[in-house]
Structure 1
C-alpha cells in the first residue's frame, strides 16, 4: 500500500499531515506523524465529498 500526502503539504516531514492510500473499494486515511497508529477507511464517495467541502470552504476548519 502506498501512502501519500497532498502536494500542498510542501513535503514537510515535521508538520502534521493527513496521508491517504487507495484501498480495495475504499480510501485509507492516517496521521503522518503516527504512521503505525489508527487508520480510517472511508468509501471513495465519502472521501470525494469531504474533499469537495474542504475546497468549497463549507466546513468550519481552523
Structure 2
C-alpha cells in the first residue's frame, strides 16, 4: 500500500514504471535548498545569497 501511494505521489504509475524499465529510463530526485522565499538547486548559491544579505544588514 505505501509503495503504491509513493508511486502516485511521485507521478509514477505501474505503467510508467514498466516503460521506464523497458527503455532504461531512471528517475533522480534533486535536492532543493530554501533560503528566505527562494529555492536553489545549488547549496553554494543559497549560501552566497545568505552572505550577501548578511553583509547588507551590516552583521
With the shorter chain as reference, the TM-score category is 0.3 to 0.5
* Higher relative strand content: 1
TM-score w.r.t. the length of structure 1 is 0.31
Larger radius of gyration: 2
TM-score w.r.t. the length of structure 2 is 0.32
Higher relative contact order (CA 8 A, sep 6+): 1
* Higher relative helix content: 2
